[in-house]
Amino acid sequence: MQRWCRTILNIAIEEMLHMCLACNLLTAVGGAPHLRRPNLPSSPRAYPPSFRLALIPFSREAVAMFEFIERPLDMVKADQDAIGATAHPLQTRLSDIFSSAREYRSQGQLYLGIEDGLGYLSQKYGEAKLFLGPPESQITGTDFDLPGLIRVTDLETAGKALEGIVAQGEGAKGATKDSHYGKFHAILEEYDEILKEDPNFEPGRPVVNNPYSMLPGDISDETQISLIDDALSVDVSNLFDGCYEIMMQMFGRLFLQGGESRQELTKLADITVRLMTSVIGPLGEALTTLPAGPSHPGLKAGASFRFSRDVNTPPDQASAWELFIERLKELSAYTGFIQSDESLSAVLDRVRGSLSGCADQLDDVRQQT
C-alpha cells in the first residue's frame, strides 16, 4: 500500500507538469491559462455514458477509473472499432462527423488533435503570428522542479511539450509499464491477486462518495453528492476548500505573471508548494479520519476540492498580492477557531502556523520589492 501511495504521488507530480505544459501552450498562442474546472462528479456529457469521474474512496473502482482515463490510443481505437461493427450505418456516419469536430474518446486523441491544429495554423498564418505570446510569461524549471518543463516558442517546442504530456501517460499509443496507464494497470493486477487471498481486503478508509460541506453552485442534484453533517468535519472541510481555492488562485497568478519580479515569482512558487505539502495534504488526510455525520453512519468525511470562486485573480499585481495575504491570514485565524480533540488540534496548529507563515513571507517579499 505504501508503494502504491508513492506511485500515485509520482503520477500526481507528473500531472502537475502536464498542467504547466498545457498552460504554457495556451500562453504561447496568445491565450490565457485555464485552471477552472467543474466540481465533481463530472457531467455525464464529459465522458462516455458508462463512465463518470467522481471523488470516491481508494478502491479497485478508483484505480480502474484512472486506468480508463489513461487508456492508450490503440486500446481506444479497438473500442471504437468494436462499437462501429455493431452500430447502425447512420450512427457510424454521425459518429465520424462529430468525432472529427468535437468529440474525443481519449486524452491521446485530444492532444493529437491539438498537435494537428497547431501544424495547420502554422502553415496558414506562419509560426511567428501563431506563437505570439511572451515566453517570459511561461512557467519553467526555475519556478518548479519539474523535469521536462519547457517554454513553448514555436512549433518544435510545442511538439516537445505535447510529446512530454502524451508519452508519460495521457493516452500514448501503446501501453508501457512506465506510463500512467501501465502503473495503474500494475496496481490493479496486484489488487486482484490480493483479493484472491483476502476477499475482504480494503486498503482505503471508508469515506463517503463526493463529500461536500455544502452544495456546490454548479451541481443542482443533491443526490449526486454526500453532504457531511458532522459539525467538526464541516469546519475542517470549509477550511480545506478555502485553502485549496487560494492555492489555485496563486497558481493562476504564476501563470499570468503580471509584472512580478523574479524574486516575487520564486517566492510565489515556493509558497504554492508549501501550501500543498503543509496545508492541503495534512487537512485532506485528517478529513478521511473524521466522521461524515449522522446521515452517513460508520462512514468518514473526505476532501471535496470545491470551487466556489473564480480561480482568476485581479490583473493588478498590488491587488492580487493583497488578496493573497488577506486570505491566508483569514484562513489562519479561522483555523484557530476550530475546536477539536488533541490529535486533530496538533494538525490544525501546524496548518495555522503554515498559513500565517505564508502570509508573512509574501508580505516580506512585497515590502522588499
106-118, pLDDT tens digit by residue? 777 788 888 999 9
Q: Give the global pTM.
A: 0.87
- Name the most confidently modeled range: 70-79, 94-103, 213-222: 213-222
Q: Is 268 exposed, middle or buried (0-12, 13-18, 19+ CB in 10 A)?
A: buried
Does the structure show a pLDDT above 50 at 90? no
Mean pLDDT across 240-245: 96
Tell me, what's the pLDDT at 210? 96
Does the structure show a pLDDT above 90 at 21? yes
DSSP three-state, residue 46: coil
User: What's the CATH fold of domain 2-191?
Assistant: Ferritin (1.20.1260)
pLDDT > 90 fraction of the chain, expressed in percent and rounded: 56
Tell me, what's the pLDDT at 77? 55
Does the structure show a pLDDT above 50 at 325? yes
Residue bearing the bigger pLDDT, 169 or 157: 157
Mean pLDDT across 169-178: 64
Does the structure show a pLDDT above 60 at 33? yes
Ranges for all domains in the chain classified under CATH 1.20.1260: 2-191, 211-368
Does the structure show a pLDDT above 70 at 100? no
181-207, pLDDT tens digit by residue? 899 999 999 999 999 999 999 999 999
pLDDT band at 105 (very low <50, low <70, confident <90, very high): low
Please give the Cα distance from 209 to 225 (Å, whole number): 7
**What are the grid coordinates assigned to 202, written together?**
480494503
Please give the Cα distance from 27 to 151 (Å, whole number): 10
Does the structure show a pLDDT above 70 at 104? no
Mean pLDDT across 65-70: 88
CA 91 to chain centre: 34
pLDDT band at 218 (very low <50, low <70, confident <90, very high): confident
- How, if at all, do strands 211-212 and 226-227 pair? parallel
User: What's the CATH fold of domain 211-368?
Assistant: Ferritin (1.20.1260)
pLDDT band at 86 (very low <50, low <70, confident <90, very high): very low
DSSP three-state, residue 44: coil
Tell me, what's the pLDDT at 83? 40
- Mean per-residue pLDDT of the chain: 86
Burial 283-309 (b: 16+ CB within 10 A, else e): bbebbbebbbbeebeebbbbbbbbbee
Residue bearing the bigger pLDDT, 89 or 58: 58
Does the structure show a pLDDT above 60 at 354? yes
Helices (H), 211-289: 231-256, 262-275, 281-287
Does the structure show a pLDDT above 80 at 146? yes
